[in-house]
């Protein structure tokens, strides 16, 4: 099934595009943890584009040392931010190294994150990670003119 067909079927379950898109990004974000590094990089580029377009605010979570494979400036530190995307009554929290335009010092994560965090908990989901990514990549290309492959 093509990405457009998957989107159409997925979208029919939601009230609007943003609700469908946010749920797909959130679900794929939970599932991508077990994928290859290249697959994770492509998804995180797409997720960052979603954050840039829809997140209302973000807060600093923590500073992290660079990963072992990083060959950039010695001693460089990456700052992880938590972004908030409000869709109706639901609040999605997504993490990224993108620095928010507006940093909220008191943006709490407690109690607002929805759903589980284990891949095993996604057995009910009608789509695999590969299908979710195909659908999201197709949406991003068609609606935003964005290709994760070109952004890495």
**Predicted TM-score (pTM) of this structure:** 0.80
Q: Where are the beta strands (DSSP E) in the chain?
A: 57-64, 78-87, 90-96
Q: Quick one: CA dihedral 143, 117, 16, 4, positive or negative?
A: positive
Q: Quick one: CA dihedral 95, 101, 102, 103, positive or negative?
A: positive
Contact of 87 with 98, CB cutoff 8 Å: no
pLDDT tens digits, 55-107: 878 888 888 887 666 666 566 788 889 998 889 888 888 999 988 887 777 65
């Amino acid at each position: 099934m093509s990405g457009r067909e998957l989107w159409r079927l997925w979208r029919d379950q939601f009230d609007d595009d943003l609700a469908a898109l946010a749920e797909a990004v959130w679900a794929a974000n939970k599932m991508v943890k077990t994928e290859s590094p290249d697959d994770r990089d492509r998804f995180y580029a797409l997720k960052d584009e979603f954050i840039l377009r829809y997140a209302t605010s973000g807060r600093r979570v923590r500073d992290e040392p660079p990963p072992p494979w990083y060959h950039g400036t010695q001693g460089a530190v990456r700052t992880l931010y938590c972004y908030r995307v409000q869709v109706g009554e639901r609040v999605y929290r997504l993490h990224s190294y993108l620095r928010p335009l507006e940093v909220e010092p008191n943006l709490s994560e407690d109690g607002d994150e929805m759903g589980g965090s284990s891949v095993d908990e996604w057995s009910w989901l009608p789509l695999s990670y590969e299908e979710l990514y195909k659908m999201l990549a197709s949406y991003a290309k068609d609606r935003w003119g964005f290709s994760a492959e070109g952004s890495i």
